[in-house]
Structure 1
Amino acid sequence: MSTSPLHPRPYQSYVYAYPHKTAYRELSHRPTLREEWAAEPTDALSLYLHIPFCEVRCGFCNLFTRIGAPDELTTRYLDALDRQATAVRDALGDSAPIRFAAAAFGGGTPTFLTAAELDRLCDIAEKRMGAELTSIPLSVEASPSTATADRLAVLANRGTTRLSLGVQSFADDEARAAVRPQRRSDVEAALGRVRDVGIPVLNIDLIYGIDGQTPKSWRHSLDAALAWEPEELYLYPLYVRPLTGLDRRGPHRLGAGTPEATTSPARDAHWDTQRLELYRLGRDHLLAQGYEQVSMRMFRRLGTPVHGAEDYACQTDGMIGLGCGARSYTSRLHYSFDYAVRPGEVRAIIDEYVQTEDFDRAAIGYRVDEVEARRRHLLQSLLQAQGMELADYRERFGCDPVDDFSAELDRFTALGWLDGSAAPARLKLSAEGLAYSDALGPELFSPTVRTRMAEYESK
């Protein structure tokens, strides 16, 4: 596989939001949430509640989370979450209708909370924020060890429409290699409990590129997942990010049979080749088994009713994030709390959060101007398999994306990343473009965002 300037490395950055939080900085003028939300449409918002606790930290994880919660920390955290929700709802005001079109609980591991605490979490979303959880799509993340019957029963009764279970691998040795100690028997038991409570959409997360993983073992995990007929499957490439458990272990072995003495560029190229091979194997296998590709990572079983919000668009509608690891965004400002990966730093941020009484201002964030808004719209649309309707972009910005991003789109065309048959009405990635989503996304970052991310000091 070539990694010349024309053919960049395929695995550079998973773009799940833009700008990334490492581009956020302290806001010199700490604006009130009331003034930031005053002119924003609030009839189709997304609500995200973040729980920063896990029973164990996986070796690949760089999410904002800590292991365990001593001294009734979960109670104090939910108290702070309640205070924040009250302040945010007050800031939204009542001059215009406030409606949430979708909700999600993430982390960390939301099911780290007890059944009673999950009930309280739902109460905060409903009674403080006004989100009607039983009437809108509600997605919740879980791990096999915390997906207990009592917790799942609460989630099902409170309206959860989608449960995402982080399995990563059905092979015990691969789970250990990813520093995720679990047994397949426990994973299967958790999947059975999820099916028993009748949550409409089961998503299973799997990872490819783990040390020692082979095409045969990858196919084994895919088939083990397919046996449960999940409505969704997410296939994630393994990344070794700074300050994670795998990073602290030293140079990654990058697949079976790679010599330890191999030079870094050659080792990286070998790993890229391995991950691309496993990605294509997984993609082709799922397509043959009756799934459709929604993005590079997401696959949905054909015929599955879509439980996502029909009237919410991440490109244009606002998001309310509650919790110290959550982000919020209006059309002009993306904001959050401080971000860290190192355990001591994470604990300090959580400790500060639970002691906070005043949540009515934004402290850390990124101002989104018109140019950044155009980049974000294109990026978040193009990374979906369905692509972007050019008419939607023209209607929103009064100009053509082909003119705004001519250099980038010309390069994508030269690389074979765009599906020419979709023109002239739509910009859409080819199969190869989807495979290279983690290279394509970063190429759309603005110079300012690139600089800020490069200057960010990991902590």
Structure 2
Amino acid sequence: MIDTALPRPYQNYVYAYPHKTAYRPLPARPALSQVWAGESRSALSLYLHIPFCEVRCGFCNLFTRVGAPDGLTGRYLDALTRQATAVRDGLGDAEPLRFANAAFGGGTPTFLEADELTRLCDIAEQIMGADLRAIPLSVEASPATSTADRLAVLADRGATRLSLGVQSFIDEEARAAVRPQRRTDVEAALGRIRDAGIPVLNIDLIYGIDGQTAASWQVSLDAALAWRPEEIYLYPLYVRPLTGLARHADPAVAEQDWDRDRLARYAQGRDHLLAAGYEQVSMRMFRRRDAPPQGPDDYACQTDGMIGLGCGARSYTSTLHYSFDYAVDMREVRGIIDTYVATTDFGSALHGRVIDGDEAARRHLLQSLLQADGLSVADYRHRFGTDPWEDFGDQLHTLAERGWLADSGADLLQLSAEGLAYSDAIGPDFFSPAVRAAMAAYELR
């Protein structure tokens, strides 16, 4: 039963703060040498974005396009090479670059052919200077593109983690999510991944798909567990299912029913994975207790010192988050990719948002509080010179009143089990008024 006095549980997936919809064109277009001046180079993160997929899933709002006609992937890698060269020049040589981790995301990086993946690794290593075999390297993939030759390249170049977007092992549910795939093909891909010897396998599953039941969700959970993946992510579906809404004259009732169903599937999945020997890292992430460590988790994608390459990648310094233009509409995305491919001068930051002390504190709190381990109050004081209860007392008292804070002592702010379940409702409460206004004013396209 949904308590209507509480906020709706599924509002915003806070995978990065501030969200790109709060970014704006940077009037000064600062040179990268200026942007990175004074920033530490001792523990950088490297992210390479490939904005291509073989199909656009019905739930997807990522920056990606379907297919790549007329040699577009090759031209994209040409542009990626030019951008990497400009970024490396902008970073300078006053301090050695040391990378702590790397990731290839998208889109679907394994959309690239094996020789193109080799080229992608060369950009990371030969231009940026990241030793991929010496640091954690995570790569996103789909079942259809997890071919033996592609996986062999990734394994040889040091990939330590491969994340496979399965979503459902039920063929009918996959079709309902506009993710046309057969379970037999998914299982075959998982076999190839295990054969490749990549140390960490992550399987993504989605709950809340139209027609999904407790029984069918259990089938997907057990099918994933049969492969003993080191990690499993459980994602709530965020696309409104038209057939679900059509059952009710009152859309609000349909939304409440969908919220109830997703909360029930979340609890079912969480409890089943915990009983199967997994630990909960965040609302979404579960790691097998005996799995090898992988370094940064869920919210590491917004850590300071992030160098993003590619037209959908973000970069983060301590005072500026920046990227290229953003869109979701497929025509707009294609236009941005075409502009990126034609770009010759990558020496400046074009779109972004300045991060002041208040925004940095909010980001740190979100990065920590939305993890199962919680926020160290002493660490917060050390970083910002204040107490989180002083800075965010209203929000934290509300969480406590709702029972969403665990009784973890004065030195740790930690969500309770119910609080973790409501992570997507908790995150937006800590957005600044300025970020809220910018997101609200963003014209979706």
Instruction: Give TM-score scaled by structure 2 length.
Output: 0.98
CA contact (8 A) 1:319 1:329 kept: yes
Query: Shift of the alpha carbon at 1:366?
Result: 0.5
Count of aligned positions: 444
Inter-partner Cα distance in structure 1 for 2:303 and 2:335: 34
Aligned counterpart for 1:449 among listed residues 416, 435, 439: 435
Inter-partner Cα distance in structure 2 for 1:3 and 1:454: 27
Distance verdict in 2 for CA 1:316–1:146, change over 3 Å? closer
Query: Shift of the alpha carbon at 1:317?
Result: 3.1
In the alignment, what sits opposite 1:244?
Answer: none
Secondary structure of residue in 1 paired with 2:292:
coil
In the alignment, what sits opposite 1:137?
Answer: 136
Inter-partner Cα distance in structure 2 for 1:261 and 1:408: 34
Secondary structure of residue in 2 paired with 1:199:
coil
Inter-partner Cα distance in structure 1 for 2:97 and 2:410: 37
Instruction: Tell me, yes or no, if structure 1 residue 79 matches structure 2 residue 78.
Output: yes
Aligned counterpart for 1:387 among listed residues 355, 374, 377: 374
In the alignment, what sits opposite 1:435?
Answer: 421
- Farther-moved stretch of structure 1 (122-131 vs 314-323): 314-323
Query: Shift of the alpha carbon at 1:3?
Result: 4.9
Inter-partner Cα distance in structure 1 for 2:274 and 2:51: 35
CA contact (8 A) 2:303 2:316 kept: no
Inter-partner Cα distance in structure 1 for 2:409 and 2:32: 41
Distance verdict in 2 for CA 1:49–1:395, change over 3 Å? same
Secondary structure of residue in 1 paired with 2:205:
strand
Query: Shift of the alpha carbon at 1:314?
Result: 6.2
In the alignment, what sits opposite 1:341?
Answer: 328
Question: How well do the aligned residues superpose, as a CA RMSD in angstroms?
Answer: 1.4
CA contact (8 A) 1:334 1:365 kept: yes
In the alignment, what sits opposite 1:193?
Answer: 192
Secondary structure of residue in 2 paired with 1:147:
coil
- Farther-moved stretch of structure 1 (188-197 vs 443-452): 443-452
CA contact (8 A) 1:315 1:381 kept: no
Secondary structure of residue in 1 paired with 2:243:
coil
In the alignment, what sits opposite 2:61?
Answer: 62
Structure 1 unaligned blocks of 5 or more: 241-246
Secondary structure of residue in 2 paired with 1:164:
strand
Inter-partner Cα distance in structure 2 for 1:81 and 1:103: 16
| Aligned pairs for 1:31-430 within 5 A | 31-240=30-239, 252-254=242-244, 260-308=247-295, 317-420=304-407, 422-430=408-416
Secondary structure of residue in 1 paired with 2:434:
helix
Distance verdict in 2 for CA 1:316–1:191, change over 3 Å? closer
1:45-64, CA deviations, whole angstroms, 9 ceiling, x for partnerless residues?
A: 11000000000000000000
Secondary structure of residue in 2 paired with 1:206:
strand
Secondary structure of residue in 2 paired with 1:144:
coil
Secondary structure of residue in 2 paired with 1:433:
helix
CA contact (8 A) 1:137 1:309 kept: no
CA contact (8 A) 1:44 1:317 kept: no
Inter-partner Cα distance in structure 1 for 2:43 and 2:379: 18
Inter-partner Cα distance in structure 1 for 2:99 and 2:405: 34
Inter-partner Cα distance in structure 2 for 1:449 and 1:3: 28
1:391-422, CA deviations, whole angstroms, 9 ceiling, x for partnerless residues?
A: 111111111111000000001111111102x1
Query: Shift of the alpha carbon at 1:309?
Result: 5.0
Query: Shift of the alpha carbon at 1:458?
Result: 1.1
